[in-house]
Structure 1
Amino acid sequence: MTQPAHLHPDRLFPASEPARSHARDLYPAVKDLPIVSPHGHTDPSWFAGNARFSTPTALFLTPDHYVLRMLRSRGISYDALGIPRKDGGSIETDGRKAWRLFAENYHLFAGTPSKTWIDHSLQAVFGITDELSSGTADRIYDAIEAKLGTPELLPRAILDRFNVEVIATTEFALDTLPHHQKMETDGYIGRVRTTYRPDDVTDPSRPAIVDNLKTFGELTGENVATWSGLINAHRNRREYFRRFGAVATDHGVPTANTADLSAPEKQALLDKILAGKHDAADAELFRAQMMTEMALLSVEDGMVMQIHAGSRRNTDPLLFNERGPDLGADIPGPTDYVGGMRALLSRCGNEPNLRLIMFVLDETTYARELAPMAGYWSSLLIGPPWWFHDSPQGIRRYLDQVVETAGFYNLAGFNDDTRALLSIPARHDVWRREVCGFLGTWVGENRISRSSAQEIAAHLSYQAAKDAYRIK
């Protein structure tokens, strides 16, 4: 009987010998290393409440925009999948029916990383080796449902099971962090951390930016109508987030543009934003200036700054108005890191306390911009393949384009950047297998020694992320 591809021990390893043999030899030493997940979007309420997941659909389907967007691309309604509407309109409330619809269309995911992650999760967590399909949908649903009520499938137990040493959630500047407060009260601290994402008060393209800034001032007790008061408000919130383990900030921006305006120019720009009289160019300039301000604050407090640039978010106005953000309608665009980052790096790029991790969806920048930049600036590291490129092929393209210029030690290791809890071990396994495959090829070509490959594989699988994010 042919073994299913997703269960084959050599999956994702190089097809040719001796590279495959070297990859096989490298993998066992990194396979079970602790998982460091320093950036992601899992729901902190899972870990605070530590309650069972309601249905298999809530675990695998509802939170995963990779899955949702593929189904939508084939004309499958979000109503039928049970995705809530802003207007409270009718949607499918039977999780089993939504699951059946997902299973009937699971063939759509052939060749995608989503299938790799889901297959891995079904096998590793639930012992399910059958392919998800219309014929197996109910049987797999029942098998998952039966285990969801067991202690080993509670969120904190899942972290234990997969040896997750640390995991970071991501919250906005106006979030009061109630779930992290509860974990602190419970004494469950250190493993689950927050991350400061100030986009809700730094991005004037958001419809509620004026109200958000007003709330920001009330929350911090600062006069955000002045530029100095605005920056003090960020200083205040960053300190609060650090109380709950934050070691990093995160900035989801459409471009990598930065600016270094004079004090009068900054105040005039803020006045325009607060008056609601800004246009798209003003919004871009404000975001650009705030990137530099966040870097200067990182020089002060040592928080690692992550720039996730290049996503055109919520490009379907119908979906956004109907259901809200982050449901699959985000599309990559070109990114200029060299020109965009010039102002920030000119101002503080040589500061020894600055640590900045660059993520990009425009793969053309890897060899042309990111690798040369990280290969010079001591403050810069290259983040792993992100979003659409967090995949076997994406990881291969990434390593092939950045390593020869930036080396292995200017890379930030791996983070999974996911909303789907059970995909975390799967994603890290794909990264570790691809790292071993890449290094195995180089050992086979006598480009590096086997001992160096072993050291680098362990570094990129575990220690690099801890070092990059200054996690002690």
Structure 2
Amino acid sequence: MTNKKFIHDNFLLENKYAEELYHNYSKHLPIIDYHNHLSPKFIAKDKTFKNITKVWIDGDHYKWRAMRTLGINELYITGTAPDEEKFKKWSKTVPYTIRNPLYHWTHLELARYFDIYDLLNEESGQRIFNETYEKLNSKDYSCQQLLQKMNTEVVCTTEDPTDILEYHQNLAKSDFKVKVSTSFRPDEAILISNPSYNEYLNTLSEITGLNINTFTDLCEALKNRIEYFHENGCKLSDHGLEQIYFENYTEKEVNTIFKKKRENKKISNEEALKFQSAILIFLCETYHKYGWVQQFHLGALRNNNERMHRILGPDTGWDSIGDFPQAQKLSAFLNALDSKNKLTKTIIYNLNPANNEVMATMIGNFNDGSIKGKVQFGSGWWFLDQKDGMTKQLNALSNMGLISCFIGMLTDSRSFLSFSRHEYFRRILCNLLGDEIKRGELPNDMEWIGKIVADISYYNAKEYFNF
């Protein structure tokens, strides 16, 4: 242990202005986590976790990538090694993650959830495993308690159109104080080239009770599920795409392409792009009808390691940043919706930092004065939800748009221990502004700049999503 706690009250806050902004205007505000991948089943059943490996390492491909890089055998990552041994391997890894956000996240999460301020390493690992074991095996550390511990007001999980939302319905009837909503993610219905596409449509057909033989049938089935999600309190959609699709197509072409797929015939890349363009336009026009917010997570190059993907499946740590062209198709897509006055509130998340300025300027093309911050450049996500990535996103948005209208941070996480990332973001934001006050680049007007901080931390999102 060091004499001074690594995680302390003024962590990442480098001057008195940053400290005042964070402690007086941001720290105590509730959290609206409007996009994550938490399990609604775990929340509804108020699950507890047997040990810290189960809640902290299982399913966390950020940690898995770091452990693999250090040369740790897969047995201790996704394999069958005992949970205690897996945690020891993670404890060994942590000191080697310096300058990776995992180092900050790890110690923030230990401090905020478990009141543990020791540095995690090989020497402290066993003691921390034992201490967290005692705490996790109590109702004070159930999923619902973990969310409330972080002053969470709203969480929006992410579900496929085929989900029946039973756990969201159960939570809506419960006395749980945190609002748990959902977002509609229909990527499986869009990506027609997937080998399992017809199988997916058969499932969608069963859920809706509609035969899906034509493109019109598919649109009707998806509209059916949008209505169902809307009736169950859904206000958002989400799409995880390499890039926005926008190709010219005719109704006849799209019907022919869909018919070919349903007959298990090969679809060309050009045909897939035309179909995906048509279904995406239909979906987004429908979101506008219901007043939803649409989200686009763009730029991930997924499943790069075919050998490990075959062994472990998707979302196990084999993805990276892609260098897809973004500007022209995104512009044409947004313009097509706007020209019909059917562009709903939109959040665009960028994974390639080389495109930050592209996205920051693109949103200004479609902010038409109808709604404050109607089109948003979303927070740094995945590989960019770290200090440098967040700062670059904030700087691009500030330089080319209005940071004052920004709706702030989200976890995009599967972990119930990830909500301290909101604190991490808020500290980075306050330090950025505090540093500019110190240098005389911003006025020493704490009341006004504090209001901007509070809006970005909480109030803008509350207004934008109408929670």
Q: Could you say whether these structures have the same fold, taking a TM-score greater than 0.5 normalized by the shorter chain as the test?
A: yes
- How far apart in 1 are the matches of 2:185 and 2:222? 11
- From 362, 366, 388, the equivalent of 1:373 is 362
Aligned length: 456
Letter in structure 1 aligned against 2:7: L
* Map of 1:215 onto structure 2: 203
Letter in structure 2 aligned against 1:311: A
Within the alignment, does 1:441 sit opposite 2:435 as a pair? yes
- From 334, 351, 354, the equivalent of 1:364 is 354
Q: CA deviation at 1:303?
A: 1.3
- How far apart in 1 are the matches of 2:39 and 2:93? 27
CA deviations 1:58-114 (Å, max 9, x no partner) are 111112111111112233233322x2xxxxxxx325211111111122223211112
Secondary structure of 1:349's counterpart equals: helix
* Map of 2:371 onto structure 1: none
* Map of 2:384 onto structure 1: 389
Within the alignment, does 1:117 sit opposite 2:92 as a pair? no
Mapped contact 2:66–2:93 kept (Cα < 8 A) = no
> Structure 2 matches for 1:247-266, cutoff 5 A?
247-266=235-254
> Structure 2 matches for 1:83-98, cutoff 5 A?
83=78, 91-98=79-86
Within the alignment, does 1:407 sit opposite 2:402 as a pair? yes
Give RMSD over aligned pairs: 2.1
Letter in structure 2 aligned against 1:300: K
Secondary structure of 1:207's counterpart equals: coil
- How far apart in 2 are the matches of 1:124 and 1:413? 20
Within the alignment, does 1:145 sit opposite 2:125 as a pair? no
Moved more, 91-100 or 143-152: 91-100
Q: CA deviation at 1:187?
A: 5.4
CA deviations 1:362-419 (Å, max 9, x no partner) are 112212x211122231242111001101011111111112212111144332111111
- From 23, 26, 34, the equivalent of 2:21 is 26
Secondary structure of 1:195's counterpart equals: strand
Distance 1:187 1:5, change over 3 A: closer
Structure 2 unaligned runs (5+)?
A: 368-373
Moved more, 203-212 or 253-262: 253-262
Q: CA deviation at 1:293?
A: 1.9
Secondary structure of 1:358's counterpart equals: strand
Secondary structure of 1:256's counterpart equals: coil
Letter in structure 2 aligned against 1:110: I
* Map of 1:178 onto structure 2: 166
- How far apart in 2 are the matches of 1:336 and 1:460? 29
* Map of 1:167 onto structure 2: 155
Distance 1:410 1:159, change over 3 A: same
Within the alignment, does 1:299 sit opposite 2:295 as a pair? no
Q: CA deviation at 1:196?
A: 0.7
Q: CA deviation at 1:230?
A: 1.1
Secondary structure of 1:381's counterpart equals: strand
- How far apart in 2 are the matches of 1:398 and 1:452? 22
Letter in structure 2 aligned against 1:253: L
Q: CA deviation at 1:184?
A: 3.8
Mapped contact 2:153–2:178 kept (Cα < 8 A) = no
Q: CA deviation at 1:4?
A: 4.9
- How far apart in 1 are the matches of 2:146 and 2:76? 29
CA deviations 1:316-367 (Å, max 9, x no partner) are 1222211211111111112433212233223212527611100011112212
Distance 1:177 1:402, change over 3 A: same
Mapped contact 1:361–1:386 kept (Cα < 8 A) = yes
Letter in structure 1 aligned against 2:6: H
Q: CA deviation at 1:435?
A: 1.1
Structure 1 unaligned runs (5+)?
A: 15-19, 84-90
Q: CA deviation at 1:126?
A: 1.1
> Structure 2 matches for 1:53-64, cutoff 5 A?
53-64=49-60
Mapped contact 2:246–2:273 kept (Cα < 8 A) = no
CA deviations 1:37-69 (Å, max 9, x no partner) are 000011112101102112210111112111111
Mapped contact 1:56–1:144 kept (Cα < 8 A) = yes
Letter in structure 2 aligned against 1:463: Y
- From 414, 419, 427, the equivalent of 2:421 is 427
Moved over 6 A (4+): none
Secondary structure of 1:314's counterpart equals: coil
Secondary structure of 1:97's counterpart equals: helix
Secondary structure of 2:408's counterpart equals: coil
TM-score, structure 1 length as denominator? Answer: 0.91
